[in-house]
Structure 1
């Protein structure tokens, strides 16, 4: 599609919107903007699919403001009504969209339009109060918006959205992945059907198609890709490298130092992994600022993200919370500890680099047993991974580097028990996450050398886990020398509590805890998952067999009751009533029922 000038769009955009677009430096439209904006302005519902970083936010913000300005000319906008709702999966993405709209509303002709941000992590009363003051545009997360619609009766939000003009579901497939299907269905029940709706996403799924059928009327499907054969931005270079499990951390450290990074995102599998590496990496990368963010950080996330945006030489450790929609223009590299649990997530992770046509790269380390992931992701997601070994940049892992890194990690764990605990939790959560991979046929837990993986975490000892075998313990080697129970917490309060528990343990032989845990026989994650799948399969087979028998007439049928049996039952009931009323004697009753005495 030919990229158009903003002034040549039909219908023509208003001057205030054009002025703001010019101030932000968007001289021309991207293909997705050129395709979507005219359709929305002509009152069409739209389902838009485009690669990440292609400008989807402006594709719905611009027509939304145009629709509101047109409505304001026809009839004044009521202060207490909501005319546009934008729903995003995470509060970070919602905040980013909120700031984009704020820039437009700085124009004098648009300042009369009110805007509100409704997200979790803060008081719901504050959001309810902001809605009472007036919010003609609401940018929200689904859970908070549903609460305001259904639970805050005094707010009467259902009455305020009855004239809704425009609904946007941004990163719609992610909304469904996070389990918001029921929430979205509830929200749609409160909204008027006479509205414009836009669904924006980088990938299409079956669940998304179901939502399209439920929430849109005769939508136009727009799919814009820069090349038919790939689903990531054309300026993005995706690499993979085969490394031994015990050398993964060492390779990545060498890689970062050789690039003299800069600014990058480092995706880790779990929140516990983010906490551990955020604790130990500053000592290994002293020249780079390390930031950390994950879903369990409720209050600090916006502050951390803003600090990372302003930093010049920094790495942000994160989970897939950061994989969708967020626009950080200066990101040059996206690093990943391992393949994401969902193949589609690889597209979104890598897409945090190469935003809006800028160059960018991503790197995915793979273990030798995971090499089949490369052709799989090419066929499944149209993502071409190039072999980093062919780039000519050889990064050699030496024994000197290994000993130095391990000594630093071990020293941190011996100095502060918090680091030891975080390392153990990170490794356990990593193994659990690996067992839940969607592409489990390629990434098999039983083929993962867990002893070597634990070595890459720099652990002092292996945790107690049913997945660990004698072979894994041989791979890891002997635990670190010394009594690990003597390692203290730097936090005095935690250390005092630990010492009290340790004394009680020495007396009773049982480690005290707040709650008495029910003793159950533990099973490996992979085995527990397989047992669950087997149970579901058996249940499905029974259900199918029952259905088949019913169709063939082989199911159990209740025998029909004859009229003779009904008459006999009525006579018996009549005799019982006569006995109760003393119209017959006990002997007569027994004789009638042929009771032998």
Structure 2
């Protein structure tokens, strides 16, 4: 069926686009491309739901370029107009889309079409300059696009968008998850209503349906599934394994060692977990190259992804930053430390493997208390998890082997206090993240053996946390000898010198010197943070107006009203001073009368 549709669509494609499609090796269409491309070419609004890795990017890039070529036949493309906007949730995904479009624009007949990448992590002036030089296609993130629309001094982007004909919202459900609902609504107000819109996502949510009603005109809904009973690609095999918490690390190390994989992704709960295990795992996996990436790495992320793409026999430690849309070739295995906070994220994580028709696998370790997660995910996300215990890949966990692994981790912490600090932060952040699970009826913090989990992290001691009870302290297996924690040094000489100075002051005063505690604020979506900032400005302006209206001075003190008696006394003193100056009275008379009045 796909080939038949391809043969129907092929004659409608211009030769430059068709040449580039063939050069990229896309001989046949995927189901989502076969369904969506004809609709977008005929100027329909489309809402497309398809499993991850199904080729959604090409489904909107081909019609977009066809639109530009067709428009150019009627009217030459103007340098100062943006004709197509592609909005993506993250800068990594936006960069990936940008590079795909760039490959098409290398075709000689398409080189005159210009494109800009508008994302965070780079100066906004650079984006402004790029748009001024000319950009027919803009690939952007919602926050940066909103910033540029607000920039009126150097750039009138709203004016450049008045001829826009093609809007794409890629991974739209993720855009809404990140809190950009109001931002998208505002952006849509700047864009002409007479346009064609493609909205692409791997899952459908209520918020997404609300956006469809608000921003699209009678859209055609396309839901492409490779198999009705599952929501992941057919060639993706999803496994789970029940493992004791204190044995989880040993099992995963053995599992990774036994896999001859070109590339693998290892999803961890938090940024702190990624930082910690990036220091520890190289000691146990010396034959594999270990990379690490998370959302707090602002400038390094693109370089890390490129290195990971180019390296073989490698593992990338990551957070859910890497769960959506990114297309990395030859990812054979996706391994997860624990269930993701959102059940839908399981689909996206696993979908980093088995992309574009390739085979792949994923593994989810579960604790005995988490076994109900398997039927839940099957019912909620239509993901069938196979039991890995049916395979022959097992590990004989012995106290001796466990102690050997723990002693190596303990040794690294004792050598460098920075690793010790990372271990404590990783464990605390992991437990905090677990309490925020969407399916917390199944995954309950009170069911977790926190002492055993702390053991699997190789902690030297349990952190002070309200969640840790006496039973958890009894479960914990720490170092075999007593440790003076104040004696653990930093490898960084400057940090160690600072620590020793503070320790000396602590020994004298009994109080650890530290900077003023910063007020902890919860991370907010971009649009909420900007809205709160505007509200603070308005409140400050109102307070200022109230002060001016009530006679409050600059220092905030209310001016006291002057009485008539005080004014009369002041007038008498001035008259007396004038008599003295005119020598009508002597200095002695002036002093007597002035003091007498007081």
Q: TM-score, normalised by structure 2?
A: 0.85
Match of 2:395 in 1: 395
Is 1:97 paired with 2:97?
Answer: yes
Match of 2:510 in 1: 509
Match of 1:358 in 2: 358
Aligned residue pairs total 520
- 1:90-143 superposed Cα distances (whole Å, 9 cap, x missing partner): 111001100000000000111110001011111111111111111100001111
For the 8 Å contact 1:16–1:107, the answer to whether it is kept is yes
Match of 2:385 in 1: 385
Match of 1:66 in 2: 66
Consecutive unaligned residues in structure 2, runs of 5 or more: 523-598
**Cα distance 1:106–1:294, how it changes in 2: closer, same or farther (>3 A)?**
same
Counterpart-to-counterpart distance in 1, 2:6 and 2:418: 55
Match of 2:321 in 1: 321
- 1:444-487 superposed Cα distances (whole Å, 9 cap, x missing partner): 00101100000010010011111110111110045652201100
Counterpart-to-counterpart distance in 1, 2:29 and 2:517: 62
Match of 2:281 in 1: 281
For the 8 Å contact 1:246–1:456, the answer to whether it is kept is yes
Counterpart-to-counterpart distance in 2, 1:5 and 1:301: 39
- 1:364-388 superposed Cα distances (whole Å, 9 cap, x missing partner): 0000000000000000000000000
Match of 1:454 in 2: 454
Shift of 1:393: 2.4
For the 8 Å contact 1:79–1:134, the answer to whether it is kept is yes
Shift of 1:260: 3.3
For the 8 Å contact 1:10–1:38, the answer to whether it is kept is no
Counterpart-to-counterpart distance in 2, 1:261 and 1:494: 39
For the 8 Å contact 2:455–2:478, the answer to whether it is kept is no
Match of 1:221 in 2: 221
For the 8 Å contact 1:162–1:192, the answer to whether it is kept is yes
- 1:300-319 superposed Cα distances (whole Å, 9 cap, x missing partner): 00000000000001000000
Counterpart-to-counterpart distance in 2, 1:400 and 1:101: 55
Match of 2:493 in 1: 492
Shift of 1:516: 4.4
Match of 1:240 in 2: 240
Counterpart-to-counterpart distance in 1, 2:397 and 2:55: 40
Is 1:469 paired with 2:469?
Answer: yes
Counterpart-to-counterpart distance in 2, 1:348 and 1:416: 36
For the 8 Å contact 1:5–1:28, the answer to whether it is kept is no
For the 8 Å contact 1:4–1:28, the answer to whether it is kept is no
What secondary structure does 2:316 align onto?
strand
Shift of 1:2: 3.1
For the 8 Å contact 2:53–2:233, the answer to whether it is kept is yes
Shift of 1:85: 0.4
Shift of 1:200: 0.3
More displaced stretch, 141-150 vs 10-19: 10-19
Q: TM-score, normalised by structure 1?
A: 0.85
What secondary structure does 2:353 align onto?
coil
For the 8 Å contact 2:170–2:201, the answer to whether it is kept is yes
Match of 2:149 in 1: 149
Aligned residue runs from structure 1 range 44-59, under 5 A: 44-59=44-59
Consecutive unaligned residues in structure 1, runs of 5 or more: 520-524, 526-597
Shift of 1:284: 1.2
Counterpart-to-counterpart distance in 1, 2:214 and 2:270: 34
Counterpart-to-counterpart distance in 2, 1:141 and 1:516: 33
Shift of 1:11: 6.2
Match of 2:258 in 1: 258
Aligned residue runs from structure 1 range 408-419, under 5 A: 408-419=408-419
Shift of 1:10: 6.5
For the 8 Å contact 2:173–2:205, the answer to whether it is kept is yes
Match of 1:481 in 2: 482
Match of 2:184 in 1: 184
Shift of 1:342: 0.3
What secondary structure does 1:316 align onto?
strand
What secondary structure does 2:363 align onto?
strand
For the 8 Å contact 1:251–1:396, the answer to whether it is kept is no
What secondary structure does 2:364 align onto?
strand
More displaced stretch, 142-151 vs 360-369: 142-151
Counterpart-to-counterpart distance in 1, 2:16 and 2:6: 13
Shift of 1:353: 0.2
Counterpart-to-counterpart distance in 1, 2:519 and 2:198: 49
Match of 1:548 in 2: none
More displaced stretch, 145-154 vs 409-418: 145-154
More displaced stretch, 332-341 vs 490-499: 490-499
Match of 1:123 in 2: 123
